[in-house]
Amino acid sequence: MRSPTRSFTAFHWLWTVAAIALISGCSGTKELAEPVPDWVQQRPQIPGYYIGVASASKLQFPADASERAQRQALAELAGQIRVSIDSKSVLHSTQFQGIAGQSFSETITSSSAEDLEGYERVGYYENESDVWTYYRLSQSTHERIRKERKTAALELAGDYWVAAQEAMAQGEVQQALDRFIRSLESMEKHWGEINLWKSPDGETIALDRACLDGIGGLIGGLRLNGQTPEITLAFQQRYTGSARCQVQYNGMAIAGMPIKWNYNRGTLPRTVQLTTGENGWSEMLLEGFEAGLQRSELTATIALDELMPTLRDSKVSNLLGSLLEPQQTWPILLPPPTIFIESKELIDGKPSNQDKLRNALAQGLNDAGIQWVNTAQQADLLLSMESDTRRAGSGNGFYTAMLDASIVLTTSEGASVLQRNLQSVKGVQLNWAAAHGEAYRKAQIELQRTFIQELLKSLYQ
């Protein structure tokens, strides 16, 4: 027979288990039925705070829905700050029009989620399909942090500005430009704001404007001074020579400046990049001009890409707009030499009463822009020519004459420049006199068509 005490104990144990199960069930039902927060259903509006609320789908992003919601909420919060700052910056950015134009207003300060500091997470909610996150940031807290950051940025930028002033005083142009650029980069997050800074002298300056003015003043103050106002290359040196220029800033010679030299040699230009020496001079070799070229132009340009290499990948370039590269231009003159023509023309071994080849040469020289003179004393070059014709046979009523000629071009000192022979230039006509004349006529054409071009080439070699 079962004891009444044991029956009561078993009943009590069953009742306890049932009660625990009932309580656990009610608790689970309550968690699943947790009400949706108000901030999920309606975006909060709290004076004095920036708000960021965002959600992400668990179905679309099963592995990182929570992280995505947090990033989007912070990005939304940062977007409100950006709008606030941009609206304050537009008026200030207009002060830079003419320096950088519209490009400056497009690069004014903005905020990103990575820059945020001092925010707090107010709420987090999720259900079976989505995750919500709620962040806020006190505007006063953000303003305090932003001012602290700006103060630190301006101090760094100010140090660079001071270094730029010291470099300018010592004529170290490249270093000064580099420091100005680094100063502006230090203020990048505040380009659209009033950036007042007190210098060591106690002067309050708009630091970004001071840097822009410093860069413009340095570039505009560079001067390229040539050794002569024009460059003359003489035939005696075969139209080769050199040109020199000095880079100065405030009267000081500047070493290490990248100079891009460019001149036209005829059909093809030549470009060479050099660097000024310790005395600020750069020297360019001029050579390779095409035959017949009598005038060209030489340009020396300070290559800003090489002068400010840090600017290539820097956003500061957006503030500067199009800087004009300092340059200087000089005319290059290649005056042709004067030529004295001495001609001895024979017909069948006898002196001719005409100077057909001499006249052809004189006309060809005139057409090429080369001056011929009447006396050897006036000439840079002496052109000596001897020609003669001979009978080569006749038949069927036709007579054939052949012309041979020797042409020698020398300097006034006797140095050979060019030698050319005409051999067996044929003339065919109905009588001997006409045949000799025809040979001379064909020789004239040969001289004007080919010999003048050979003569021009020899002057530039």
- Please, what are the domains in the chain? 33-140 (3.10.28.20), 339-459 (3.30.160.180)
CA trace torsion 362, 367, 369, 374 (10° rounding): 20
pLDDT tens-digit readout, 347-383: 999 999 889 999 999 999 998 888 889 899 989 999 9
pLDDT of residue 111: 54
Which pair of structure tokens corresponds to residue 364? 């060809």
- C-alpha 321/C-alpha 311 separation (Å) is 12
Confidence of residue 114 (pLDDT cuts 50, 70, 90): low
DSSP for residue 78 = H
- C-alpha 131/C-alpha 268 separation (Å) is 68
Q: How many CB atoms lie within 10 A of CB 360?
A: 21
| Of residues 367, 309, 300, 360, the one with CA closest to residue 332 | 300
The listed range with the strongest mean pLDDT (9-13, 77-81, 190-194, 432-436) is 432-436
pLDDT of residue 95: 41
- C-alpha 459/C-alpha 72 separation (Å) is 76
Using DSSP's 3-state secondary structure scheme, residue 295 falls into: strand
Question: How many CA atoms does the CB half-sphere of 437 hold within 13 Å?
Answer: 8
pLDDT tens-digit readout, 390-425: 999 999 999 999 999 999 999 988 889 999 999 999
At 422, the amino acid letter reads L
Question: 143: which residues sit within 8 A by CB, 6+ positions away?
Answer: none
pLDDT tens-digit readout, 59-77: 999 888 999 999 998 988 8
pLDDT of residue 85: 54
* Contact present, 118 and 149 (Cβ < 8 Å): no
At 43, the amino acid letter reads R
Cα–Cα separations (whole angstroms), residue 134 to 70, 138, 200, 298, 320: 8, 14, 46, 67, 41
Q: Is 276 exposed, middle or buried (0-12, 13-18, 19+ CB in 10 A)?
A: buried
Q: How many CB atoms lie within 10 A of CB 427?
A: 22
Cα–Cα separations (whole angstroms), residue 38 to 45, 120, 122, 169: 12, 18, 12, 65
- C-alpha 292/C-alpha 382 separation (Å) is 18
Which pair of structure tokens corresponds to residue 110? 């903005």
Using DSSP's 3-state secondary structure scheme, residue 35 falls into: coil
Beta strands in 85-149, from DSSP E residues, in sequence order: 120-126, 130-138
Q: Worst-scoring range by mean pLDDT, 122-136, 209-223, 308-322, 419-433?
A: 308-322
H/E/C letters for each residue in 120-188?
EEEEEEECCCEEEEEEEEEHHHHHHHHHHHHHHHHHHHHHHHHHHHHHHHCCCHHHHHHHHHHHHHHCH
Q: How far apart are the first and last CA of the chain?
A: 139
Q: Judging by DSSP bridges, how do beta strands 327-333 and 231-232 pair with one another?
A: parallel
More confident position, 234 or 8: 234
pLDDT of residue 1: 43
Given a cut of 50, is residue 90 above it in pLDDT?
no
Beta strands in 303-347, from DSSP E residues, in sequence order: 327-333, 339-347
pLDDT of residue 83: 63
pLDDT of residue 313: 87
- Sort residue 6 into left (φ over 0), alpha (ψ -120 to 50) or beta: alpha
